[in-house]
Amino acid sequence: MKKNCRAGGFLPPPALLKCVRVMKVIALLMTVAFLQVHATGYSQKKLTLQLNDANLKEALRLIGERSSYRFLYNDDILPRDKKVNMKVIKASVEEVMNRLLEGTGLMYEVKPSDLIVISPLETALNAAAVKVSGSVKDEQGNALIGVVVRQKNSNTVGTTTNSEGNYELTVADNAVLVFSLVGYEAQEIPVAGKTSIPVVLKVSTSNLEQVVVVGYGRDTRKKLVNAVSVIKTDKITTLPYSNMADALAGRAPGVITQSAGGEPGGGSARIAIRGGSGPDRGGPLYVIDNVVSSRFDFLNLQPQDIENISILKDGGATAVYGARGANGIIMVTTKRGQAGNARVNFSVLTEFSKPTILPQRVNAYNYAVAQNAAATADGQPAVYSPGRLDTILNKKDPWAWQDNDWYTMTLRNFTPQTKYALDVSGGAGKTTYFLSLAYFDQASNYKTNVTSFKRYNARANVTQKFDKQGVTIGLNLYATLTNNKFPGASAFAIWSHLQNSPPLKLAYNKNGTYAAGVDHPLVDIDPRSGYQRDEYRNMNGNLTIDWEVPGVEGLKLGVMGYYKIEDRFRKSWFTRAPQFDNLGIEQQQSKPSLSTISDQYRNQNLQMRIEYQRTFGKHSVSALALYEESEDFSEQVSAGRINFPSAAVDQLFAGSNEGLSNGGSAAEGGRRGYVGRLKYDYAAKYIIEGSFRYDGSDRFPRENNSKWGFFPSLSLGWVLSEENFFPFKNIFDQFKVRYTLATVGNDDVRDPAGNPVRFPYLLNGYSLRENAYVVGGTPQGGFNEGSLVDRFVLSWYSTKDYNTGLDFSMFRNKLQGSVDYFYKRTTGYIINSGARYTGPLGTSLPYASSGSAFRRHGMELQLNYGEPVGKDFSYNVGGTLTMYNELWERDDSEDSVSLKNPLTRRTHATYVWGNGLHNLGYYQTVDQILNNPRNSSANQLTPGDIQYQDTNGDGKIDGNDARRIGKQQFPALIFGLNLNVAWKAFSMEMLWQGTGTRTVRLGGTLTAYNAGNIVYDFQRDFWTPDNKDARFPRQSLSSERNGNNNYNPAGQASDFWLYDARYLRLKSLRIAFDAKRQFPRQLSFLNSCVLTLNGTNLLTFSPVKEFFDPETSDLNNYGYPVQKVYSVGLNIGL
């Protein structure tokens, strides 16, 4: 009897097996076809050759036999005694010929049909030589110095212009002269017997003609009238970033990032473009290859796959995304193949990381001394006698009085990480391809191997053109697999236990077992203490068909279909490694438990578009009409069991039937949108662009047409440098002003607590209830509709967006820059009506849209200057700056009492840290306490307690004295500085990032609200009669002694605990050595070979660096820390 089963799994159904077989056959055929194309194209263009003591004639014969090249020369001119030793692999014919003829006095010229003519240099010059001279000037008539003038196809005939812009050169009368200078367009001019050739070089417009990816299309930088920044991905591919969010920091104006830690598989930076659209700092929309994607998709992209990244910042650029454009857009375009031979790139990056900042721990002796000082302040006897202090100091009884450095015991010195990436690209005929594979392995800071992250990426982008039909088909296939492993304890639990453990806390017993006690960090990271596993799989495909309509120039029709499948499985096994007391008795632990969650997600997207682009003389017109719809479906199933009798089996069936649980949920959604865009320019001088999106979302009801929204934009541009009256033409290569006004939306509706709401008019969705209704006196099960909101008052958040910008380039494009001023005003916030009105008896008022309005305005600046200096040296210096201010014009969520206090209300107030008391330092004497206003809730005030200002003058300290204090924690001013230097084969790239003033409050762990919580060395600086200018207030053995006066959150909020968290950080450093350039002969078989030394977060300057990393959002150091990373990389191209 045949059984379709096996131990530990099952056999796939026949249909699936057949599908797999078909896929294997297709893969085989594609591989064979690819290899055939590869071989055919490759053999004609690249030469593989090995010569040992061969004469020149033999070398030329061998080249002719192994390629399509033919040679024409006179035998008499070939040197007889020259021996050639050469080994090249896949080298160009130019490289081979240059090496063969070096030092022979011969020159070559490649003619049509692969004919190479070899002749003596003297013959070429003297037989019909001509002396040519002239001057080289720019379009304004200024002499150009240092212009390279050379004879085409010659490596020896050439010169440069002198200080007056003149040159003189002897060449063959049929030669072609090439004139080139950085910042100008190169010119080729035939000599044709002329003896004087004056030349006028035009400023290069290559930068202005750079293609910029925008929403549903492309534009040139010269004609761009919206606020769009472009990030060059070649600057980040070799840097040791674990995700793409961290790679954006400091690289574009308007992009504000804040690190969220460095946990493997997580800890990606928070991104807000121009601060987001509102106070919740909403993240941007991510668009990958014209498809709206998730943040997770963006984070896990392979940097080597990315062609470019565009940051769309103003409403003119984002309006085409309608209800999701208010927070800005990050657009990613992945690479596609280029026609030609196959190009192979392989890179490997070996990395070592460690926390950027770990506060200095206190040792056991100083900890004990601090306890005694606190006891003295309390009027209590010393906790540790002099004899005990001596025992601790000299480690006379190390098992009873351990001096534990919990960092050293728990953490590695360095954590290894590895990245591998391989890509192949090229094309033959009308087919091009880009194929890539990548692997990333990231370990954790813990000494035990309990946390890791592994990521696998695969991509295949293929393009096929049918020129006769005017059809282009593009297919993008992409897959990601991630495998995350964590301890049973969360990162928060591990790091909080680690940070809070004092040095005298026992770690081990004498027999090596774990000491008894709660919150033991070594037990947390023991492999026997359970695990959490998170496996994620993502596969998606994108098929695009474009048709250039024959007979109608500039008209193109297109359709794009996209499908995505996500699967995620999470399994959490909770148990504990055994712990024992000093008598060897095992500590009682909770029985093991297990939970599993399985998620599935499907998404499909359809786009149909009509594009038109045409130039009529000086008039250029482009238009877009697009229809888009998308659907998504998600489903979740969960199950769990507790009280496992044993930790030996971590499967559901092994758990107890008591306390078992299961659950599930499902959701589906859809969107539909109509997009239009029309752009006109006259002579690339006057530019006008209008766009709109009519957007429909399932998040809103049909009533009152709330489901649909209209989001228009208008952009204007004027290139003044093209005007005849512009007075600074000799300085500015381009000077363009632009203006945008737009309305964009945000349907990411959130409740007042900041939680996302999928269907805000059904805030709780539908839930299954056992007693939903009654039939015949008997309760019946059914679905219950959640709390309803008035359907006529719900709509999107709406943002009015205004932007004024200036783009310029100067001094032959050496200096380039842009300046933007932006203003945003967002309305439509949802509030709880109960904050303003009294609800009816027995129920609560619903949520509803409000009249709240939030505005933000600011500016951003980008500058870049660079030029070559001589033949071997070049440099580039640049900077970005973003700054803004914001306030609530009206905040309907504030109650009437709060609104009456103009000193603390949020309405009409710029954004600050919050409300609290102003401190005046410490009470130094009892007289100060008795003769000044006091905190009425603090009944044990003594010298060393914090004194507060009686701001309202009523003779007492209470909540009425609170005022706005500090600045907002999220950066309101952020800048980046970059320096790139290259000398011969060496280069260095350096990026600094910093912020202006921003305020943070020390967390409770760092304030040490009683002496037992002193774990850091800096916490010993507390007030005593001999240390009155201390950092911290007086200490006590009890947190009850005026904790409500001195500490927050235990007591009164004040500016005493606020610190300026501005910082300046060396965000990245890259030092590269181009071995191919340094050793071209030895590495002739390679197209490229670059060795790199890299680092991130290498240096940090900040007033708070003694406490924590200034970018962290966890002010107790309870989160996985931000990482400093060192790496060594190798990139090889074939």
pLDDT for res 110: 78
pLDDT for res 204: 67
Instruction: pLDDT band for 26, please (50, 70, 90 cuts).
Output: very low
SS3 at position 1036: coil
Integer distance in angstroms from the first to the last C-alpha of the chain?
55
pLDDT for res 1010: 84
Instruction: pLDDT band for 713, please (50, 70, 90 cuts).
Output: very high
Q: Which of 90, 101, 98, 88 is nearest to 41 (CA)?
A: 90
pTM assigned to the model: 0.80
pLDDT of 865 strictly over 70: yes
> What average pLDDT does the chain have?
85
Query: What is the maximum span of the chain, computed from C-alpha positions, in angstroms?
Result: 117
pLDDT for res 3: 36
Which segment of 394-398, 530-534, 1092-1096 scores lowest on mean pLDDT?
394-398
List helix spans (H) across 441-516. Answer: 491-500
pLDDT of 954 strictly over 60: yes
Cα separation, 1061 vs 999, in Å, equals 6
Contacts 24+ apart (CB under 8 A), 845-851: 846/763, 846/787, 846/788, 846/789, 846/790, 847/751, 847/752, 847/760, 847/763, 847/787, 847/789, 848/789, 848/790, 848/793, 848/794, 849/793, 849/794, 849/795, 850/892, 850/893, 851/827, 851/890, 851/892
pLDDT of 961 strictly over 80: yes
Mean pLDDT value across residues 479-485: 96
pLDDT of 205 strictly over 60: no
Predicted confidence (pLDDT) per residue in 75-130, tens digit: 778 887 778 888 777 777 877 888 888 777 788 877 766 778 887 765 544 446 78
Residue 454 region by backbone torsions, left for phi larger than 0, else alpha for psi between -120 and 50, else beta: beta
Mean pLDDT value across residues 617-639: 95
Cα separation, 734 vs 305, in Å, equals 32
Cα separation, 875 vs 864, in Å, equals 11
pLDDT for res 95: 78
Predicted confidence (pLDDT) per residue in 923-951, tens digit: 999 999 999 998 877 778 899 999 999 99
* Residue 503 parent element (H or E): none
How many residues belong to the chain? Answer: 1134
- What is the distance, to the nearest Å, from the Cα of residue 88 to the centroid of all Cα atoms in its chain? 40
Instruction: pLDDT band for 1076, please (50, 70, 90 cuts).
Output: confident
pLDDT for res 52: 79
Instruction: pLDDT band for 772, please (50, 70, 90 cuts).
Output: low
Instruction: pLDDT band for 41, please (50, 70, 90 cuts).
Output: very low
pLDDT of 192 strictly over 90: no
Contacts of 499 (CB under 8 A, 6+ apart): 1005, 1015, 1116, 1117, 1118
Predicted confidence (pLDDT) per residue in 661-708, tens digit: 999 999 888 999 999 999 999 998 999 999 999 998 877 766 666 788
Cα separation, 961 vs 949, in Å, equals 8
Contacts of 745 (CB under 8 A, 6+ apart): 322, 323, 324, 325, 326, 695, 709, 711, 796, 797, 798, 799
